[in-house]
Amino acid sequence: MRKQSDLRQLEKRIQKLEQNAFSKLKKFKKEKFNCYQDAQLAISKLSKQFKYHQIDNIEIIKKTSNTKTSGQASFYQVDATLSKNESAITSEMQCAGRFAFGTEMLNAKKPLRLSK
């Protein structure tokens, strides 16, 4: 019974985080980077923000734009897709319905005891 409740809450949390991740990725795809390495670094930082999702099919594209003041300027943009991180989701589902006793946290030298 407790496990079913935890699984429902987990599903809701994953859906909410998925919507948030899609919006962040959408904004990220519009960003312009000065060099290839900046784009790679930004992808790395963004992917670390996602707990239950991962960035796939990463493609860094060099583009040029014509501006009146500076002539042609080149920049880099990222194209990528988002998918669920099944291993992280599976491990959370296995832990559903379990809780740790708060008194065990007082003694940090002992490992936490999980109860079903």
* pLDDT over 90 (residue 16): yes
Q: What is the pLDDT of residues 56-104, one digit of tens each?
A: 999 999 888 776 666 668 889 999 999 988 888 888 887 776 665 555 5
Q: What is the pLDDT of residue 74?
A: 86
Q: Could you give the dihedral angle defined by the CA atoms of residues 88, 13, 53 and 22, in that order, rounded to the nearest 10 degrees? A: 180
Map out the domains of the chain as residue ranges: 2-115
Say which residue, 58 or 107, is predicted with more confidence. Answer: 58
Q: What is the pLDDT of residue 105?
A: 53
What phi-psi label fits residue 53: left (phi over 0), alpha (psi between -120 and 50 degrees) or beta?
beta
